[in-house]
């Protein structure tokens, strides 16, 4: 059945139309082929249909090699889209009596082609880790454009393209039967640009503000039969635009299982700083500590 929507409005910000039905449909087929005893190929095809654009075929392929029960190496390629929404097509905004922004009647889906290579290895019962690299190609990303004749109203366009690449690493180590460590690292590099003829309004800020490096380390301890102690430290690199400095933060939790039904815990978030700004816009996250008593019955 179609999804009905009704969007609230104000005299200066509204949608044309403000209500309607979205007929969404998708079809997905997938098959796996055993090429050898250790190699498997998986092929898929997804077709999406929405009320704004023609059906979009989205193929995918993945091949994996498992030489033993401790190692798997894989590679994948796929296509994806972000389909248009009422905000992309139907939004209207006024500044005073001036029609300032309208939805893009010709707005197309944002497109992604993704490539990945990775490996998961478990050399022993105590150690496991994984590493993957990715390369993403973007096209027709949403931009804000001038009207070619009158400048205003502005409208949504598809004037940005580019690529991103990076690496993700994750590992887990059981030091003892009662102490486990897990850590991860992510590196992201974005290379986006405006297409020829794009108005370049707002610059690249409209495409997100992502850190280049992120890392985390988590410790989990079972202190006897009834007490657990967890701690997690994270590092987030500086945000580029709008710029925010890098930071390190710590979360922790200690829990006491008084009985099979009763648990008492003390948790803390952002323990290293009284206040920290993690996102643009002046939003400040305070240090917090709270106690929790749970009774199950």
The reported pLDDT for the residue numbered 2 is 62
pLDDT score recorded for residue 241: 76
Which residues of the chain are modeled with pLDDT < 70? 1-2, 205-206, 281-282
C-alpha 165/C-alpha 135 separation (Å) is 4
Per-residue pLDDT tens for 164-222? 999 999 999 999 999 999 999 999 999 999 999 888 887 776 677 889 999 999 999 99
Sketch the domain layout of the chain as residue ranges: 3-208, 216-297
DSSP-assigned beta bridge partners for residue 219: 181, 231
Per-residue pLDDT, 239? 87
Per-residue model confidence (pLDDT) at position 206: 66
- First and final C-alpha spacing in the chain: 40
Distance CA 256, CA 276 (A): 29
> How high is the pLDDT of residue 70?
96
User: Residue 99 in 3-state DSSP?
Assistant: strand
Residue 1's pLDDT is 56
Q: What is the pLDDT of residue 35?
A: 96
Q: Are strands 25-34 and 39-49 parallel, antiparallel or unpaired?
A: antiparallel
What is this structure's pTM? 0.84
Quick one: 3-208 is in which CATH superfamily?
Answer: TonB-dependent receptor, beta-barrel domain (2.40.170.20)
């Amino acid at each position: 059945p179609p999804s009905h929507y009704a969007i609230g409005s104000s005299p200066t910000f509204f949608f044309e139309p403000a209500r309607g039905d979205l007929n969404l449909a998708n079809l997905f087929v997938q098959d796996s082929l055993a090429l050898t005893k250790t190699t498997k190929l998986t092929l898929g095809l997804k077709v999406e249909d929405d009320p704004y654009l023609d059906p979009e075929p989205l193929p995918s392929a993945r091949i994996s090699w498992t030489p033993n029960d401790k190692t798997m190496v894989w590679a994948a390629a796929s296509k994806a889209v972000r389909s248009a929404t009422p905000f992309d097509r139907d939004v209207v905004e006024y500044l005073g009596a001036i029609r300032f922004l309208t939805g893009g009647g010709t707005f197309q889906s944002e497109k992604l082609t993704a490539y990945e290579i990775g490996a998961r290895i478990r050399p022993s019962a105590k150690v496991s880790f994984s590493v993957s690299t990715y390369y993403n190609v973007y096209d027709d990303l949403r931009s804000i454009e001038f009207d070619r004749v009158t400048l205003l109203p502005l409208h949504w366009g598809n004037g940005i393209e580019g690529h991103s690449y990076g690496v993700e690493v994750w590992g887990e180590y059981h030091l003892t039967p009662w102490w486990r460590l897990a850590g991860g690292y992510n590196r992201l590099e974005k290379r986006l640009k405006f297409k020829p003829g794009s108005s370049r309004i707002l610059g690249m800020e409209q495409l997100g503000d992502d850190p280049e490096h992120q890392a985390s380390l988590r410790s989990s301890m079972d202190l006897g039969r009834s007490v657990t102690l967890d701690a997690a430290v994270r590092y987030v690199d500086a945000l580029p635009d709008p710029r925010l400095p890098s930071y390190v933060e710590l979360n922790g939790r200690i829990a006491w299982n008084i009985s099979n039904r009763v648990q008492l815990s003390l948790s803390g978030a952002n323990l290293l700083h009284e206040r920290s700004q993690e996102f643009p816009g002046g939003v400040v996250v305070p240090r917090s500590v709270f106690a929790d008593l749970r009774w199950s019955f």
